[in-house]
Amino acid sequence: EVQLVESGGDLVQPGGSLRLSCAPAGFTFKNYGMYWVRQAPGKGLEWISYITADGKTFYADSVRGRFTVSRDDVKSSLYLHMNNLRREDTAVYYCARGRASFYFDSWGQGTLVTVSS
Amino acid sequence: QSALTQPPSVSGSPGQSITISCTGTRGDIGSYNFVSWHQQHPGKAPKLIIYEVNQRASGSSVRFSGSKSGNTASLTISGLQTDDEADYYCCSYAGGSTVVFGGGTKLTVL
């Protein structure tokens, strides 16, 4: 069974930094592209980042230059490094497994990031 | 990276069918057959139900079906059940290895 477990969410002040992690299980991590998607309280889903199996990275305009996605295939881990956080970055952050046709077939349970002073 | 357009809410009675539309542009839905739909119950993570416009995800009910015409994709749920009450999100490939979601539609089963 495919499982994805996010961690690292926390309360952080505006301008601060945070690193989220996603731990996969039940599949060969190195063979898959991975996504980060977020959901602000009471709002819809927003794609924010994608990393291919071979490490190419892509970002939504809203986070480009502030967020960095990375992966460690040896440790089987996915990361999202978030810098210069803004109040509007407050959201539940989900990692999701990507498939070749640019869809997500498995989601984690999410981790909450709150940006507030 | 403008969001796809979905109706904020739809409703139906048990046993009825409903359709949720998802309108994009020539740059996303209109150019690619890479539309997916995700179901999200309150407080839960999203779950894939349809991919590649009309392919049912593993474990998804046959009551869910997808289609596309031009720049608009649609999700149809037949034989509505109370457990179908949830938020539904469309998602499309938008070129350049990016994807875009719709704003979401809240389905109420009366």
- Condensed to tens digits (0 to 9), the pLDDT of residues B54-63 reads 999 999 999 9
Report residue B61 as tokens. 């009910």
Residues of chain A positioned with their CB less than 8 A from the CB of B36 = 103-104
Exposure string over A6-27, b if 16+ CB within 10 A, otherwise e:
beebeebeeeeebebbbbbeee
Closest by Cα among B38, B34, B37 to B52 = B34
A27-59 pLDDT tens trace: 999 999 999 999 999 999 999 999 999 999 999
Q: How is the beta sheet containing B18-23 ordered, strand by strand? A: B18-23, B72-77, B64-69
Classify the C-alpha dihedral B79-B56-A35-B6 as positive or negative.
negative
Alpha helices in chain A (DSSP H): none
**Interface contacts A/B by beta carbons within 8 Å:** 68
Contact A60 B98 (CB under 8 A): yes
Of A73, A74, A82, the C-alpha closest to A54 is A73
Q: Do A99 and B57 touch (CB under 8 A)?
A: no
pLDDT at B37 over 80: yes
Interface touch A101/B99, C-beta < 8 Å: no
pLDDT band at A12 (very low <50, low <70, confident <90, very high): very high
For residue A95, the model assigns a pLDDT of 98
Residue type, A69: V
Q: Is A64 in the B-facing interface, judged by CB distances under 8 Å?
A: no
Confidence at residue B1, expressed as pLDDT on a 0 to 100 scale: 65
What are residue B83's phi and psi, to 5 degrees? -70, -10
Q: What is the pLDDT of residue B2?
A: 79
Residue B98 has pLDDT above 80, yes or no: yes
Rounded to a whole number of angstroms, the distance from the CA of B32 to the nearest CA of chain A is: 10
Q: pLDDT category, B12, cuts 50, 70, 90?
A: very high
The percent of residues in chain B predicted with pLDDT above 70, rounded, is 99
